[in-house]
């Protein structure tokens, strides 16, 4: 063992102790509460997505003529194909849910405040990447709903003044869905977005390591001399357990609620009921409530406000007497999103 250690020591300018020191972040006591694992949950699910996504890519054929048939082959013929596609789909669902919950936790505990504004913005980029990667993944199946969902999304882009037309053409690789579109979605889904997310995640985690985790103390917590516990092995074991619980949950979901396939995409017939994936229900309902350009621009404005929220919140706290306004704004915003989602889910049109 010492010989191996020495061999590496002579070649690498970093010792195992130094590696441990980098990893061994002091973790505040409040992280023993389970809902503070919500940041690690999407990170773990992202790894599951990369692994199952690589497996699926072995059989998936990203072309208009072959996409649907290859997904059918994976689902019904390849050994355990149904399982890996199911895990991939359910991990996507859980990943988006946990990212949203993680963001809500960060928001309502005010963990985005100075000096962590930049990391909030990186987190927002990760949220948008997660939503787009969910959308492009769904489009790859090339069934009726995913085809028309992509068409609608492209036309939503088109309503943005000035740059909308270009955005639509860039998304579809043409003025309408064509033979190049599926491969474009595939490259976005399997290469561009995952690579961007790995890059953003590295910065996200790096910033957490540099700035430390936000310190909280809950009222029911006993006053202790030690305010922190070591990341390794204490918190690492917690994440390990979370990982196994998630794998069990994903396996159960993939088995009990297996993935299905709708009818193959037909560019000549739009289905009577067309809906996006659940995480776009709120935006879809919003689009039905207002005229195209207003709906799109207002959504853009909301996203922009979310991006720069730490600075708006800082201004409110500094110059007004509504120091806790963010909590009430957050409650209204979350209720609005949940309300629109439930509304869209409850009705056909």
Partner 1 sequence: MNSSERAAAGDSTTGTAAGDRRSFFSLVAMGLGLTGAYGTFAAMAARFLYPAKPPDRRWMYVASVTEFAHGGGVLFSAPNGQAISVTRLTANGTVEDFIALSSICPHLGCKVHWETQNKRFFCPCHNGAFNVEGISTAGPPFDAKQNLARFPLKVENGNLFIEVAVA
Give the interface with partner 1 as residue ranges (CB under 8 A): 51, 55, 58-59, 73, 77-81, 83-84, 240, 244, 247
Considering beta carbons, is residue 81 or 164 the nearer one to partner 1?
Answer: 81
- Give whichever of 88 and 102 is closer to partner 1, judged by the CB atom: 88
Two tokens, residue 270: 């739009």
Nearest to 107 by CA among 342, 307, 315: 307
Distance, in Å, from the CA atom of 93 to the CA atom of 257, rounded to the nearest integer, reads 13
CB of 26 to partner 1, least distance (A): 22
Cβ proximity to partner 1: between 73 and 278 the closer is: 73
Pairwise CA distance, residues 136 & 140, whole Å: 6
Query: Nearest to residue 153, comparing CAs of 336, 61, 287?
Result: 287
Smallest distance from the beta carbon of 60 to partner 1, in angstroms? 12
Shortest reach from residue 79's CB to partner 1, in Å: 5
Nearer to partner 1 among residue 79 and residue 268 (C-beta): 79
Strand 228-230 versus strand 26-28 pairing type: antiparallel
Closer by beta carbon to partner 1, 82 or else 112: 82
100 vs 253, beta carbon nearer partner 1: 253
Of the candidates 349, 177, 176, 346, the one whose C-alpha atom is nearest the C-alpha of residue 272 is: 349
Q: CA 172, 125, 213: angle at the middle one, nearest 5?
A: 160
Tokens matching residue 28 = 């505040």
Instruction: Report, in Å, the least distance between residue 81 CB and partner 1.
Output: 6
* Of residues 59 and 343, the one with the C-beta less far from partner 1: 59
CB of 82 to partner 1, least distance (A): 10
Inter-CA distances, 320 with 83, 306, 307, 315, Å: 54, 20, 21, 8
Residue 44 CB-half CA count within 13 A: 19
Question: Token pair of 335, please?
Answer: 């209720």
Question: Which residue lies nearer to partner 1 by CB, 127 or 246?
Answer: 246
Structure-block tokens of residue 337: 């999103």
Give min distance, CB of 17 to partner 1, in A.
Answer: 22
**Token pair 């509304």 in the structure block, residue:** 343
CB of 111 to partner 1, least distance (A): 31
* Greatest Cα-to-Cα distance within the chain, rounded to the nearest angstrom: 71
Distances, alpha carbon 285 to alpha carbons 136, 232, 333, in Å: 20, 45, 15
Minimum gap (Å) between residue 169 Cβ and partner 1: 37
């Amino acid at each position: 063992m010492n010989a191996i250690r020495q061999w590496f020591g002579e070649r690498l300018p970093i010792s195992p102790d130094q590696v441990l020191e980098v990893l061994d972040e002091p973790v505040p006591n409040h992280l023993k509460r389970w809902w503070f694992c919500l940041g690690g949950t999407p990170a773990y699910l992202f790894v599951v997505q990369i692994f199952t996504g690589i497996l699926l890519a072995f059989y998936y054929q990203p072309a208009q003529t072959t996409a649907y048939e290859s997904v059918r082959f994976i689902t019904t013929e390849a050994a355990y194909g149904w399982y890996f596609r199911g895990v991939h789909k359910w991990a996507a669902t859980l990943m988006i849910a946990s990212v949203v919950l993680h963001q809500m936790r960060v928001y309502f505990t005010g963990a985005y405040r100075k000096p962590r504004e930049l990391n909030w913005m990186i987190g927002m980029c990760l949220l948008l990447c997660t939503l787009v990667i969910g959308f492009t993944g769904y489009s790859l199946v090339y069934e009726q709903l995913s085809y028309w969902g992509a068409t609608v999304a492209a036309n939503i882009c088109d309503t943005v003044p000035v740059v909308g037309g270009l955005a639509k053409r860039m998304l579809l690789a043409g003025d309408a869905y064509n033979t190049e579109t599926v491969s474009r979605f595939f490259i976005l889904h399997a290469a561009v977005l995952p690579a961007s997310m790995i890059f953003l995640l590295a910065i996200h985690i790096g910033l957490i390591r540099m700035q430390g985790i936000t310190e909280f103390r809950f009222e029911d917590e006993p006053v202790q001399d030690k305010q922190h516990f070591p990341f390794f092995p204490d918190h690492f074991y917690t994440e390990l357990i979370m990982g196994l619980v998630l794998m069990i949950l994903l396996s159960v979901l993939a088995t009990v609620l297996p993935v299905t396939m709708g009818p193959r995409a037909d560019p000549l017939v739009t289905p009577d009921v067309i809906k996006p994936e659940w995480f776009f229900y709120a935006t879809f309902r919003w689009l039905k409530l207002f005229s195209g350009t207003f709906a799109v621009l207002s959504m853009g404005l909301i996203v922009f406000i979310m991006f720069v929220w730490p600075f708006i919140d800082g201004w409110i706290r500094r110059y007004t007497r509504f120091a806790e306004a963010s909590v009430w704004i957050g409650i209204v915003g979350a209720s609005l999103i949940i309300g629109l989602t439930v509304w869209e889910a409850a009705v056909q049109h």
